C-alpha cells in the first residue's frame, strides 16, 4: 500500500465533472489536472482489477462511458469512488492520483497497447460479470 509522504501533494479541490466525465484535481501550487473517469476505472487499484501480483491484472473494457456516481473520503489520504458500473473497491491515495494525473498520456498508451496485444476492442463489454465478481481465494 502506498501511503502519504510529506511530499505527497494533497489536492485542495476535487471536482467531479459528470458531463465531461473527468475528475479535476486542484492543488495549492496552482496545478490542476483532469483525469478521465475511464482512465481511473481501468487503472483501479482494486484487487478486482489489479489481481494479487504482476500478471494478474484483469484487462478492463467497455468503460468509455463510465461515470462516478459517488466519492467517499478514506481518512485524509485517499478517495474511494463508486462508478456507474457498480465498481467501488478501488481506494485511490493522493500520491496515486497525482502520479496518474502526471502520467496519464503514458498510462493511456499502455492501456491501448494492452488492448491491441489482447486483440480486444476498447468498447467491448467485459467478458463475464460472474467471473469479475468472483471471490479471491
Record the cell numbers describing residue 119, joined without a space: 486483440
Q: Which residues contact 71 (CB under 8 A, 6 or more apart)?
A: 14, 16, 79, 80, 81, 82
pTM for this prediction: 0.87
Angstrom distance (rounded) from CA 79 to CA 70: 10
In 3D space, the residue among 99, 4, 114 whose CA is nearest the CA of residue 45 turns out to be: 99
pLDDT tens figures, 74-83: 998 999 999 9
pLDDT tens figures, 87-120: 999 999 999 999 999 999 999 999 999 999 999 9
pLDDT band of residue 129 (cuts 50, 70, 90) is very low
Position 133 scores a pLDDT of 43
Mean pLDDT of the chain: 90
CATH of domain 13-120: 3.30.2020.30
pLDDT tens figures, 59-70: 999 999 999 999
Amino acid at each position: 500500500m502506498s501511503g502519504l509522504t510529506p511530499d505527497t501533494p494533497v489536492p485542495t479541490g476535487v471536482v467531479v465533472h459528470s458531463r465531461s466525465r473527468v475528475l479535476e484535481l486542484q492543488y495549492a501550487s496552482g496545478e490542476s489536472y483532469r483525469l478521465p473517469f475511464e482512465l481511473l476505472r481501468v487503472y483501479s487499484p482494486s484487487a478486482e482489477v489489479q489481481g494479487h501480483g504482476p500478471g494478474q491484472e484483469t484487462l478492463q473494457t467497455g468503460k468509455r462511458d463510465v461515470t462516478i456516481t459517488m466519492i467517499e473520503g478514506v481518512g485524509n489520504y485517499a478517495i474511494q469512488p463508486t462508478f456507474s458500473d457498480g465498481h467501488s473497491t478501488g481506494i485511490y491515495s493522493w500520491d496515486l492520483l497525482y502520479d496518474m494525473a502526471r502520467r496519464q498520456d503514458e498510462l493511456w498508451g499502455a492501456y491501448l497497447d494492452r488492448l491491441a496485444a489482447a486483440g480486444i476492442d476498447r468498447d467491448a463489454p467485459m467478458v463475464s460479470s460472474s467471473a469479475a465478481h468472483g471471490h479471491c481465494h
